[in-house]
A = this chain, B = another copy of it.
Amino acid sequence: MTELEQIDQAITRELASDGRCSFTDLAERVGLSVSAVHQRVRRLEQRGVIRGYAARLDGESIGLPLTAFISLTPIDPAAPDDYPSRLQDIREIESCYSVAGEESYILLVRVASPAALEDLLRRVREAAKVSTRTTVVLSTPYEGRSPAI
A residues adjacent to B (C-beta < 8 A):
1, 3-4, 9, 12, 15-20, 47-64, 67, 69, 84, 88, 91-101, 103, 106, 110, 135-149
A100 lies within 8 A of B136 (CB): yes
B contact residues around A47 at 8 Å (CB): 61
A56 lies within 8 A of B62 (CB): no
What is the CA–CA distance of A146 and B94 in the complex, to the nearest angstrom? 7
B137 lies within 8 A of A16 (CB): no
B contact residues around A69 at 8 Å (CB): 97, 99, 106
9 A-B pairs in the complex with CB atoms less than 8 angstroms apart: A47-B61, A49-B62, A51-B58, A52-B55, A69-B97, A88-B142, A91-B148, A94-B143, A95-B145
